[in-house]
Amino acid sequence: MPLTGTGITSDPSSEICIPLVFNSLSYLFFLSLSALAYYCFPARFRWGWLLLVSAAYYLSFIPVFFFLIAGLVTANYLAGLWIGRAVRQGALRYQLVMVVVLNILVLAFFKYFNFFFPGLKVHLFSVDWFYRSNIVSRMMIPLGLSYLLFTVIGYQIEVKRNNIQPERHFGYFSLYLLFFPRIAQGPIERPGKLLSQLRDIHHFDYDLVANGMKLILWGYFKKLVVADRLAVYVNAVYSNSAHHNGTTLIVATIFFGFQIYADFSAYTDIAIGSARIFGIRLTDNFRQPYLATSVKEFWNRWHITFSTWLRDYLFLPIAFYLSKTLKKEQYLNVPSEKWIYLFSIMITFAICGLWHGEGMTYLTWGLLFGTYLTFANWSEKSQRNFRKRFKIKKTSTPYIVMHILLTFVLVSFAWIFFRAGTLSDASGIIRKIFTSAGTPFYESPANLIYAIAGISALIAVDLKREYYQNTISLLHSKYSLVRIGTIASLVIATVLMGVLDGGQFIYFKF
């Protein structure tokens, strides 16, 4: 059964009512009451209130999984103290490895249970604590499990490296992991940034709250008007790819690239905006990724907290280990550092692909990005010599435009594997793209116009942020009439053009 508005095939959990999903009125009501009470409480009690509402937020989804999450939080709190004590005593040996492996095993169990046991029906529970629901009979991933475990693994590594001291206050540690704006899809916050903010006293700041609300509004626009509108077309084409020509598949692939960007960045905007209302600043996860001039730069702009997590806790340790293992300066007339980069990046992106899903399509998607990055790394000298020979400046407009387009094409090609159901479907789509031209499919002219208008708005805002940062901003204009007019326009556009069917966020499944 597809998740409406996403194009991602769901598991049985999609049948469960989710009252506090971000793109719902119930969430806005919950956020408003939580923020109002937060500023009414004395400062010393506010962290406790945030922890309570974060627990309530999680319980509104699938209540039974809250016990698993609470157990993981408690176990990792104790593990952090254990690792910290071992570091201080100079007795650190196997502690970190054990903690990391156990956390990964928990994630792997839920992510791959249905893959290894596709025919096994496990009667889990009937969710009826707060509302009646169908019985769930297959394993599902608890909300936010991946992001919680990435956060806590990073925390344990930082404790082991002695970059931070283990958090001794169980309440603050719990809030660090469960803070509701970021629990489901991140950002993956480093402990040094978020834990200190949770301890600070936050006074009501009108400008900060207003900016948070504007960011939430922009997130709603991106989700309902851009992402979910594009999903209507993408679903129709990718669900019946064998019946569409190559031109239609190109359009659907481009639309999916903007769909997943709008969908995921919309969640990030709503999360960051929600946190700002409480005076807390979360890390921005996106920085105009489709204006990147290389695949490497794309990953520095896309899902930034996850990209830096992979770099700091996976790629660099692997590269460091290989640099100590490979003794020769060259292998097969290729410098050792090139081989180190190849193996490190391919392992990193293979794991990245496997994290996104159990199918071969996700692994291929990850390995394809690893191949892109390896080619760029190995050909770096040749590219530099080419530019020098033909006197090409990297700062020239033609060079930038050409590389933005080339990067977009490479990323869009990779999205085919991410979106296709199987490798066979992906290969069929690619074959048709190169061999079968024709008139693009469209079911409704209005829907197509709305989709193009949404993409245009997204591109316009990204261009403004990238190249005209210091020029006038409509949402933050010093003229109140302009601000109010822009806000009203966004609200009207969201209501009139948005797909208001409660479609789920794509990355909820990860």
Question: How high is the pLDDT of residue 510?
Answer: 55
Is residue 6, in this structure, part of any structural domain at all? Answer: no
48 lies in a domain? yes
Same domain for 37 and 123, yes or no, is yes
pLDDT(505) > 70: no
Q: Where are the beta strands (DSSP E) in 64-177?
A: 125-126, 135-136
pLDDT higher than 80, residue 504: no
5 within a domain of the structure (yes/no): no
Q: What is the mean pLDDT of residues 433-443?
A: 87
Q: Name the token pair of 273.
A: 């905006």
pLDDT band at 185 (very low <50, low <70, confident <90, very high): confident
Domain extent, residue 418, equals 304-423
Residue 131 included in any domain: yes
Residues 378-421 pLDDT 10s? 999 999 999 999 888 988 999 999 999 999 999 999 999 999 98
Alpha-carbon distance of 138 to 393, in angstroms, equals 56
For residue 170, name the pLDDT band (cuts at 50, 70, 90): very high
At 42 the pLDDT is 93
Q: Which residue did the predictor score with more confidence, 438 or 226?
A: 226
Residue 25 has pLDDT above 60, yes or no: yes
Q: How confident is the model at residue 120 (pLDDT cuts 50, 70, 90)?
A: low
Beta carbons within 10 angstroms of residue 180's beta carbon: 26
Let me know whether 218 and 184 are in one domain.
no
Whether 394 and 447 map to the same domain: the answer is: no
Residues 123, 101 share a domain: yes
Q: Which candidate, 371, 375, 320, 328, places its Cα nearest to that of 346? A: 371
CB atoms within 10 A of CB 92: 17
Q: Answer whether residue 100 is part of any domain.
A: yes
Mean pLDDT over 253-260 rounds to 97
Q: What is the pLDDT of residues 333-351, one digit of tens each?
A: 899 999 999 999 999 999 9
Q: ∠ CA 410-413-419 to the nearest 5 degrees?
A: 140
Q: Of the residues 371, 388, 423, which one is the last residue of a structural domain?
A: 423
pLDDT at residue 371 tops 90: yes
**How far apart, in whole angstroms, are the C-alpha atoms of residue 113 and residue 119?**
10
Q: Is residue 168 part of a domain?
A: yes
Of 62-71, 77-86, 222-231, 287-296, which gets the smallest average pLDDT?
Answer: 62-71
pLDDT of residue 121: 62
* Mean pLDDT in residue range 66-87: 95
From residue 124, alpha-carbon distances to 109, 112, 113, 134 in Å are 14, 16, 13, 11
Same domain, 193 and 210: no
Q: Dihedral angle at the C-alpha atoms of 244, 248, 253, 255, nearest 10 degrees? A: -130
Q: Is the pLDDT of residue 471 over 50?
A: yes
pLDDT (tens digit per residue) in 269-290: 999 999 999 999 999 999 999 9
pLDDT of residue 4: 34
123 plus 170 within the same structural domain:
yes
**From its phi and psi, is residue 167 left (phi > 0), alpha (psi between -120 and 50) or beta?**
beta
Helical axes 246-277 vs 397-419, angle rounded to 10°: 100
Handedness of CA 313, 318, 321, 327 (dihedral sign): negative
Question: pLDDT tier at 61 (50, 70, 90 boundaries)?
Answer: confident
Split at pLDDT 50, 70, 90, the class of 65 is: confident
Q: How confident is the model at residue 20 (pLDDT cuts 50, 70, 90)?
A: confident
Residue 346 sits in the same domain as residue 261? no
What pLDDT does 307 receive?
96
Q: What is the mean pLDDT of residues 119-126?
A: 57
Surface-to-core class of residue 162, CB atoms within 10 Å of its CB (0-12 exposed, 13-18 middle, 19+ buried): exposed
Answer yes or no: do 43 and 146 share one domain. yes
Alpha helices in 290-422 (DSSP H): 295-301, 304-310, 316-325, 336-356, 360-378, 380-389, 397-419
Q: Are 180 and 270 in contact, with CB atoms under 8 Å apart?
A: no
In a domain, residue 428? The reply is: no
Domain boundary among 199, 229, 258: 199
Q: What percent of the chain has pLDDT over 70?
A: 90
Cβ neighbours around 199 below 10 Å, total: 11
Instruction: Using alpha carbons, list the distances in angstroms from residue 83 to 3, 73, 155, 296.
Output: 41, 15, 11, 34
Please indicate, yes or no, whether residues 70 and 193 belong to a single structural domain of this protein: yes
7 found inside a domain: no
175 CB contacts (<8 Å, ≥6 apart)?
Answer: 47, 50, 51, 54, 198
Q: What is the pLDDT of residue 87?
A: 93
Q: Count the domains in the chain.
A: 3
Mean pLDDT of 102-117: 86
With a pLDDT cut of 90, the percent of the chain lying above it is 69
244 and 432 Cβ atoms separated by less than 8 Å:
yes
Residue 439 — pLDDT band, cuts 50, 70, 90?
confident
Model confidence band, residue 327 (pLDDT cutoffs 50, 70, 90):
confident
Rounded mean pLDDT of 42-56?
A: 95
Task: Pick the last residue of a domain from 199, 225, 260.
Answer: 199
Q: What is the pLDDT of residue 137?
A: 59
Residue 11: which pLDDT band, with cuts at 50, 70 and 90? very low
Question: Are 141 and 218 members of one domain?
Answer: no
Residues 116 and 234 reside in one and the same domain: no
Residue 122: pLDDT band by 50, 70, 90 thresholds?
A: low
Judge if 32 and 143 occupy the same domain: yes
Considering the chain, what is the average pLDDT of its residues? 88
